[in-house]
Amino acid sequence: MRQGAYTVTMQHVLTAISDPTRRAALALVWDGGEHCVCELMARLNASQSRMSRHMKVLREAGLVLDRRDAQWVRYRRNPQLAPALVAIVDAVLAAEGVHERKVA
Amino acid sequence: MRQGAYTVTMQHVLTAISDPTRRAALALVWDGGEHCVCELMARLNASQSRMSRHMKVLREAGLVLDRRDAQWVRYRRNPQLAPALVAIVDAVLAAEGVHERKVA
DNA sequence: AACGCATATGCGGCAAGGCGCATATACAGT
DNA sequence: ACTGTATATGCGCCTTGCCGCATATGCGTT
């Protein structure tokens, strides 16, 4: 049945966005564009293995999709994400966005 | 400054709702009423120390408030919670609620 | 085929989190 | 004061999670 699988996904989503670095990566990818790991590494000041692993978690939670493009792997927001889960991500990113305005 | 403190709270909130038992407890308390630990224990089938600790995490995240009432401690939703954080909780609880309808 | 760049992953260490058990604390009733 | 009920917490165990390092893999260039 779907119910069980869904609850697991929900749990995965929450676990995924509970890490600051992953939230930051998600925020970058949430613009709808494609971003290679090297870009995310640079912008988030994260090591290669660390970044790669974090993206894996986001991917396995269903939040992002990845695509091979020559030597790069492009990550992008998953457009098929269930609306209820999109709502969660939007709420979280919005809550973080509230402050940075002050700085910017 | 407030910004740092807020980000920490945000992190606390996400950590708090990342646990299934805590989400369930939050859902119960989210009705606006007061609930003693014994009630939550019974309804969530959790041990006493486990329930008490989980509620402590929710309290420290600012999600709930507690009040002594004779031998009981009544927990309730925190009405002062920042709107941006309320939005997160609402989104999460709504996402979970989607399924239980099928069962009920 | 050899090299270089980009990404993924096995491994080990270390810190954080959840739980049960026992105990402490708070309060009410007798 | 003593007992019973309700809740909190110190402690130790065990699991999970994050990270760096080293290595493997995929792909393009020469």
- Any idea what the CATH number is for the domain that residue B12 is in? 1.10.10.10
Print the domain residue range for B84: 2-88
- The residues that bridge with A73 in the sheet, in sequence order, are A68
Task: Provide the number of structural domains found in chain A.
Answer: 1
Residue A102 has pLDDT above 60, yes or no: no
Q: Is B79 a member of any domain? A: yes
Q: Strand C nucleotides below 7 A of a protein CB?
A: 4-10, 17-22, 26-28
| Residues whose CB falls within 8 Å of the CB of residue B70, separated by 6 or more in sequence, listed in order | none
User: What confidence tier does A5 reach under pLDDT thresholds 50, 70, 90?
Assistant: low
User: What confidence tier does A1 reach under pLDDT thresholds 50, 70, 90?
Assistant: very low
DSSP state of A81: S
User: What confidence tier does B101 reach under pLDDT thresholds 50, 70, 90?
Assistant: low
pLDDT at B103: 46
Contact of A72 with A40, CB cutoff 8 Å? no
Q: Could you tell me how many residues make up chain A?
A: 104
Q: Is A100 a member of any domain? A: no
- CA distance from start to end of chain B: 47
Q: Do A99 and B7 touch (CB under 8 A)?
A: yes
pLDDT at A62: 97
Q: Is B83 a member of any domain? A: yes
Mean pLDDT of chain B: 92
Q: Is B17 a member of any domain? A: yes
Q: Is A101 a member of any domain? A: no
Q: Is B97 a member of any domain? A: no
Subset of residues 11-50 in chain B with CB less than 7 angstroms from any atom in strand C? 15, 18-19, 21, 46-50
Give the separation between CA A43 and CA B80, rounded to whole angstroms: 35
Q: Is A76 a member of any domain? A: yes
Q: Do A87 and B91 touch (CB under 8 A)?
A: yes
pLDDT at B8: 76
Helix axis angle, A20-29 to A37-44, nearest 10°: 120
